Chains A and B, each alone.
Chain A
Amino acid sequence: MLEMLPHWLSDWLGPDGMANLAYITNGKHLSWYASVRYTLIAAAFGAILAVFFGLLGAAAKLSKFAPLRWLGDIYTTMVRGIPDVLFLLFFPLAFEQGVEYMMAQWYCKPDELAAATTWPLCANVQWYLSTTEYMILACVSLGLVYGAFAANVIYGALTAVPKGQLEAAHAFGFPSREVFWRFQVRQMWVYALPGLSNVWLLLLKATSLLSLLQITDIVSWADRLGAPNYSPVAGLVHGDWRWKYYLVLFIFYILLTWLSEKFFAYLQARAGRGMARAN
């Protein structure tokens, strides 16, 4: 592939430069770059789910129906208190075993169930989780954890919309549903976006935990590539280079943060258009 480079470029790089270029473009490194997709997918779908759970949670907290309100409070208090690492370890495992347990009730013979001492309860209900399933579970876990933060942010933002606005809308004869969606939710974003951008950055950082679920993400690849290698058949012989690879990850995450800040500034300006500002 490198033979396709123009001559002036390969001359300028020299043999050492070309060797380095060959090293960072070998199959192992290309797999590393490609594994960025897991991080981005988990961040994107995690965020969509977080906003979804956040809206649900906030709606529950604002509900006139007390049990629903308690449910919303329990969700935001409990999930916000659990470290994301623990939740990411706990939820997928609990979900897998829960499904296997339910299926065992249909598919295992009664004597197998009685005799079962190990997991799964019988061989028929073994559910094998591949990277795809783990990715889905990771997105849901991230959505649940950061949805709890988002719920609190959105709840706060919804109550921050001036009461007078809503009263005025009612006075104009809008039905309650439309008052909620066209006035309260529409104006809520201005108050919610700064908080949500915080939640997004936290979620983005949490995507570095994907390797906990045996997903070969950028962190596991950095680990593998940076590990010392003294076996020439396994590739370039080098000492402990992990810090170099971790440094690349630092830069990658800082870049993502910088892009996110730009994006949220744009969103903020868009959400705030046509609204009076107090400065």
Chain B
Amino acid sequence: MSKKWLLAMTLGAALVSGQALAEDKLRVGTEGAYAPYNYVNDEGKLAGFEIDLGNELCKRTNMTCEFIQNKWDSIIPNLLAGNYDAIMAGMSITDERKKSITFSDEYKPVDPSLYLVKKGTQLDFDKLEGKSVGVQGATIQDDFAKGKWAAKNTLKSYEKADQSLADVMAGTVDVVLADGEFVRTAVAGSNGELEVVGPQEMIGGGIGIGMRPDDTKLHEKINAALAEIKKDGTLETLTKKYFTEQK
């Protein structure tokens, strides 16, 4: 038997055993930088609304959850590549994303996106011109701002949401458009230095769990468990624990 064969067979065996394991283990990709949805806590571990929710779902489907931190901009490609089996990262359900992945039912309804500025910044949202608008790249806010603001303003796309916070604080960017809860959390913790201005933008669908389209079994399992925890009030309790407002 040649060495090539041996290598191929070892790798093949590793792949097969990996798939067998995947039955009782759910690997969940998350960003770990979008409080209160998901973040790294003081112990250096992933925590947040989605971590609690994911663990609850795993408990009810007799699986063990393993959370894997992945950068936002490669979170969908790495799901498709099989690095993990599901995405729970505050990801809105959109038609664009549905072209490559499927979503579970929503576990958080639409929350309007908000504009965040440094306290005292005056902006005329009816005719915004020559300003710099910050968004996190590849988000629904990114798409939205491209359509609405890009023509007369400069769009700044950030890899991570917290970089946009640093820039709005430093005055490098005039206004940041981000998820409502994320913005409210930032304002609450900013010691009065940040505030919300302008209109609320109703963009995107609710937030759901992203999965590979061919993973129909997992899809059914997750949706059944979601329906269960919606019914018995567990989801509401978790939502209340992490979010300031319910819609």
Contacts and interface: CB of A to CB of B under 8 A. Distances in A.
A221 B82 CA distance: 25
A124 B15 contact: yes
A172 interface: no
A230 B15 contact: no
Given A231-B36, A234-B39, A240-B170, A27 B189 contact: no
B163 interface: yes
B119 to A, nearest CB: 13
B71 A230 contact: no
A230 B185 contact: yes
Contacts of B162: 227-229
Interface in B116-158: none
Contacts of B165: 227-228, 230, 240
Interface string A227-248: 1111111111101101000000
A230 B189 contact: yes
A235 B15 CA distance: 38
Interface string A107-125: 1000000000010100111
Nearest to B32: A224
A251 interface: no
Contact of B189 (A26, A106, A237): A237
A126 interface: yes
Given A126-B15, A127-B11, A224-B33, A234 B41 contact: yes
A63 interface: no
B169 interface: yes
Contacts of A239: 166, 169
B195 to A, nearest CB: 12
A77 B204 CA distance: 51
Contacts of B35: 229-231, 233-234
A128 B82 contact: yes
B43 A240 contact: no
Interface in B31-58: 33, 35-36, 39-45, 47-48
B83 interface: yes
Contact of A107 (B12, B40, B45): B12
A131 to B, nearest CB: 11
A165 interface: no
B44 A126 contact: no
Contacts of A276: none
Given A128-B81, A229-B162, A233-B35, A103 B185 contact: no
Interface in B1-22: 8, 11-12, 15, 18
B227 interface: no
Interface residues of B, number: 40
A128 B83 contact: yes
B190 interface: yes
A234 B80 CA distance: 29
Residue of A233, A235, A237, A242 with highest tally of chain B CB at under 10 A? A233
Nearest to B183: A230
A103 to B, nearest CB: 6
Contact of B42 (A28, A124, A125, A214): A28
A233 B41 contact: yes
Contacts of B33: 224, 227
A228 B166 contact: yes
Interface in A84-124: 99, 102-103, 106-107, 118, 120, 123-124
Contacts of B70: 214
A244 B194 CA distance: 22
A100 B177 CA distance: 40
A101 B165 CA distance: 42
Contacts of B12: 103, 106-107, 124
B11 A227 contact: no
The 7 A-B residue pairs whose C-beta atoms are closest, nearest first, are A230-B189, A27-B43, A231-B35, A27-B44, A240-B166, A227-B162, A31-B44
13 contacts: A26-B44, A28-B44, A123-B82, A124-B12, A128-B81, A227-B165, A228-B165, A230-B185, A230-B194, A234-B41, A236-B42, A237-B191, A242-B166
